Each structure stands twice: as structure tokens, then as C-alpha cells.
Amino acid sequence: HDHIDGEGLVSKGWLKTKILRAFKGEREVKRVPIKGIKSFHDDVYGAKRGENVIYVFAVGGITFCHLGDLGHVLTDDQVAEIGSVNVLFVPVGGVYTVDAAQATRVVEQLRPNIAIPMHYKIHGLMQALATVDDFIRGKENVRILEASDIAMRRQDLPPPTWILVFRPPVSGVRPPAA
């Protein structure tokens, strides 16, 4: 999404980092098809914060869905367009995105093997977001990881749905863009 706290979809690893500006429809990057699906940054059809784009792509037989700054529960049409998801990146902090309860509903709508919460309050962050605890409280199948990344293979994916919470950066501040 193109605004101050996010500059599109970043793909790493093949030759160099590539930043894609927000797009709807289908594109291919390094032989990886990526679908951009229109959604909204709020629950009033973008009237408060504009549009958001959901990205869906598959690598190594694993389908990923990044919800960006989604601000509403998904429509039936969006659920159908997204399709089957193995790994879901879901905002949970509220204020500028869905809150913990809405994020829970989105996870229930998509039923991914793995849900990875994002856009929540961490140490050093000045925004008034909720912590990840609001999202994971009372849920089964939650793993708090000490790592900031994980390797996975399709055959090793758990049955739906596990929630993986990654260790945030030590400072809570992202490095500057290269």
C-alpha cells in the first residue's frame, strides 16, 4: 500500500530486493504470479482511509496472502477471489486496520494453515495500537517464536489454523529503505 508506513509489496531473495507499488490485478515478478485484490483501509468503503490491496502469491507450493492494512472483514467475493491460503499475514492492532476481533473473523473466513499477526503494538512504537496479546488471548495453537523468520515446506504445514508470533526487531523501528 502506498503511504508513509508501507511502500508496496517487497520481494527478496532472487537477485535483489524489488519494491512493487500497489497494484490490483495480476503481475508476475521473477516467475512468481502475484494477484492484487481491492479492499479498503477502513470499514466504510475507503471513505476514511482509502483503498488497500490484498496480495496473494505462491512459492514452493505454499500460497501466501498478505492483507496489508485491511480495515474490514472480508466480503464473500473477496474470500472467493483470495481462494485457498496456507500462510496468512493479518493485521491485528486496530486503529488503522482491523482489530483483534475482526482479525479473528478474517482468519475464520480464510482458514489458513498458519496465521501470522502483524501491525500491532511493540516496544518502542509510538502508535496507539493494541498488542498481539489481544489477538492471541484464549486461542489454541499459538506459538511464540524467538526467531524473526522460519523455513517451511508444504508437506510440513500444520492443519488449520496455527498462529505464529515472530520476535519483533529489538528496537521496534524498521531500518531505512535501501
Q: Is residue 178 predicted with pLDDT exceeding 60?
A: no
Residue range 128-168, pLDDT digits in tens: 999 999 999 999 999 999 888 889 999 999 998 999 999 87
pTM (2 decimals)? 0.85
Topology of the domain covering 2-165: Metallo-beta-lactamase; Chain A (3.60.15)
30: confidence class by pLDDT, cuts 50, 70, 90: confident
What are residue 56's phi and psi, to 5 degrees?
-125, 130
Number of H helices, E strands in the chain: 3, 12
